[in-house]
Amino acid sequence: MAAEGASTSGEGTVRVDVWIWSVRLTKTRSQASAACRAGHVRVNGDRVKPAQSLRVGDQVRLFHAGRERLVVVKKILRKRVGPPVAAEAYVDNSPPPPPKEFAAPAAVRDRGAGRPTKRDRRELERLHGARHKD
């Protein structure tokens, strides 16, 4: 556990984008920074920039990859750690992900059917809610 001591701290602060990446809520730090810049990250109800300081006890709300995550910071991490250690760094209060049967239906075409006709394209657009020009 010597490596854990170098990457964690019981007190202090850390950048919110670094912490989100460290606890594996995003795959890359640049994704975490982009989510902050786009307004998809809130700390204690306020939108934050990537360099915002994060402390133990803060509530982080992240919308990423089509899912909302709501976590409370238990540990400050400055380096990316393995999943078991990362899971100990926060309390996950996220709503459960939506069931698979309620996901948007994917348009499936038979193999070898060729390009869709104009009529097929219009039906697909109607299904997805897009408007076509006539």
Model pLDDT, residue 123:
86
Q: Cα(6)–Cα(80) distance, rounded to whole angstroms?
A: 11
| SS (HEC) of 22-77 | HCCCCCCHHHHHHHHHCCCEEECCEECCCCCEECCCCEEEEEECCEEEEEEECCEE
Q: What is the DSSP letter of 105?
A: P
The reported pLDDT for the residue numbered 5 is 43
CATH fold of 2-98? 3.10.290
Handedness of CA 115, 116, 117, 118 (dihedral sign): negative
| Average pLDDT rounded to a whole number, residues 105-114 | 75
Model confidence over 113-123: pLDDT tens digits? 888 889 988 88
| pLDDT at site 108 | 72
The neighbour count for residue 12, using CB atoms within 10 Å, is 11
Give the domain ranges of the chain. Answer: 2-98
Angle at 38 between CA 57 and CA 79, to 5 degrees: 45
**What is the average per-residue pLDDT within 42-59?**
95
Per-residue pLDDT averaged across 72-101, rounded? 90
Residue-wise pLDDT tens digits, 87-104? 999 999 998 887 776 666
